[in-house]
Amino acid sequence: MQITSRFTIAIHSIILIEYNKDMKVTSKFIAGSTNVNPVIVRGVLSQLKEAGIINSRQGASGITLARGLNEITFYDIYKAVDSVKGEGLFHFHEDPNMQCPVGRNIHFALDNRLAGVQTTMENELRRIKLSDVVNDVKNKIETENL
């Protein structure tokens, strides 16, 4: 299984907001650049707003960033748009047989280790800032017309 495209949609959106900060960036505009349905985009933006990453007002056109780009990490976005219901990264088979010695103790042996893997991944996501990505995109665009 894969982590939802909502994650990359969210990153793409934030880059757009920054790159076009001199104009009013709308969900329709983001939908055009990502090639994703406007309602889906608004759903993602809604989650980013709830996480305190962007600002928006009903009716008022124009999405803005709520914090500096170097204060937004991939982890923030991941948590905002993809971590549903506080479920972990790994889906354990529900209902191991408690009559079986192994089934009875499998969680004891696995839970910590799986949580550790998840934490490792999340820490790696924390290391990546949106400012890094935005800089890369801007520089790449600069060199496009040479």
Using CB under 7 A, list all residues that contact DNA: 1, 4-6, 25-28, 35-40, 42-43, 45-46, 49, 56-63, 84, 91, 93
Question: Which of these, 94, 70, 90, lies nearest to 3 by C-alpha position?
Answer: 90
109 binds, among DNA, its own copies, none (CB under 5 to 8 A by kind): its own copies
Residue 91 engages its own copies in binding (rule: CB under 8 A) = yes
CA–CA dist 46, 35 (Å, integer) = 18
Question: Distance between the two ends of the chain, CA-based, in angstroms?
Answer: 41
Instruction: Select the span of 50-58, 59-67, 135-143 touching its own copies (CB under 8 A).
Output: 135-143
131 binds, among DNA, its own copies, none (CB under 5 to 8 A by kind): none
CA–CA dist 133, 84 (Å, integer) = 25
As measured in angstroms, the least distance from the Cβ of 115 to its own copies is 11
As measured in angstroms, the least distance from the Cβ of 88 to DNA is 13
Quote the Cα angle for 62-63-69, to 5°: 140
Question: Which residues are bridge partners to 64 per DSSP?
Answer: 55
